[in-house]
């Protein structure tokens, strides 16, 4: 799938597919003409009235402001940091297991992984190399950054995900100052916040979603850009090339 095929509102399209709701079904539920739903899907930046947007999001099990970001400009005041918090999990084990993979799988423009604890990521997203290869082939920008000096004997990127180095389009890098685990897919972030004295498995996790000027999420996005700007590019070692 090339970027040329990604048009209109892919977030709405993905939510409808996930909820098994057709254009006619959504139109009937809202009491609107199916042509209106078709325009929401296929005409860039076409946004429904707030009432229809909220009703559609409720049916699809989604967030109206995530499906139609411009809705925030029309119907919301400036977002506060609290508005950007989708959920807060006191422990990483309390995050719904499928959320890690689903967040990455739904990305259409950007995936950033700043991961200090790679063994956890291998458990949470078992098919990560294949998933990122699929996103990269669809035109998604994929960047991965890991610690320069892993904390354990088998926690380097080449140990946990050796096949990543063979995927075209991925930017792999290391950084000595990496502590928190940040998984970003478009406007959604899953942030494991480190706590002194606690292992990462016991640290809280924030699910954030960028809204408007993003007073809270913007800090993490700026930090990600700084990490990648000051990181050292990774190069596959010879035995990984042989395996590939």
Residues 6+ apart with CB under 8 A from 140: 107, 108, 109, 110, 111
Residue of 101, 23, 21, 91 whose CA lies nearest to 62: 21
Residue 6 token pair? 């990604």
Confidence (pTM): 0.63
The alpha-helical segments, DSSP class H, found in 126-235 are 128-137, 157-160, 217-229
pLDDT of residue 35: 92
pLDDT of residue 163: 86
Could you tell me the sign of the dihedral formed by the alpha carbons of 206, 87, 129, 187, in that order? negative
pLDDT of residue 218: 84
pLDDT of residue 4: 40
Residue 4 token pair? 């040329």
Residue of 147, 144, 146 whose CA lies nearest to 128: 144
Q: Dump the DSSP string for 38-51.
A: HHHHHSTT----HH
Which H or E element spans position 181?
Answer: strand 181-185
- The predicted-structure confidence for 40-99, as pLDDT tens digits, reads as follows 999 888 888 888 888 898 899 888 888 888 876 655 555 555 678 889 999 988 999 899
Helix, strand, coil in percent for the chain, rounding step 5: 45, 15, 35
pLDDT of residue 74: 57
Phi, psi (rounded to 5 degrees) for 210? -65, 130
Residues of the chain with pLDDT under 50: 1-5, 236-244
Which neighbouring-strand residues pair with 171?
Answer: 143
């Amino acid at each position: 799938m090339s970027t040329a095929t990604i048009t209109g509102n892919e977030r709405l399209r993905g939510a409808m597919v996930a909820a098994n709701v057709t254009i006619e079904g959504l139109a009937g539920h809202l009491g609107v003409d199916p042509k209106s739903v078709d325009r929401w899907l296929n005409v860039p930046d076409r946004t429904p009235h707030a009432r229809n947007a909220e009703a559609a999001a409720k049916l699809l099990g989604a967030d109206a402001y995530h499906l139609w970001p411009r809705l925030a400009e029309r119907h919301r005041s400036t977002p506060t940091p609290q508005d950007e918090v989708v959920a807060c999990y006191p422990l990483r084990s309390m995050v719904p297991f499928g959320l890690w993979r689903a967040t990455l799988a739904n990305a259409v423009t950007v995936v950033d992984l700043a991961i200090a604890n790679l063994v956890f990521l291998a458990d949470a997203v078992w098919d990560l190399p294949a998933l990122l290869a699929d996103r990269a082939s669809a035109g998604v920008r994929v960047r991965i950054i890991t610690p320069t000096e892993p904390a354990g004997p088998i926690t380097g990127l080449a140990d946990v995900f050796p096949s990543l180095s063979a995927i075209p389009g991925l930017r792999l890098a290391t950084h000595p100052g990496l502590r928190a685990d940040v998984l970003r897919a478009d406007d959604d972030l899953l942030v494991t916040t480190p706590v002194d004295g606690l292992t990462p498995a016991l640290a809280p996790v924030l699910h954030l979603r960028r809204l408007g000027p993003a007073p809270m999420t913007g800090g993490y996005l700026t930090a990600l850009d700084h990490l990648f700007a000051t990181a050292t590019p990774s190069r596959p070692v010879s035995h990984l090339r042989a395996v590939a």
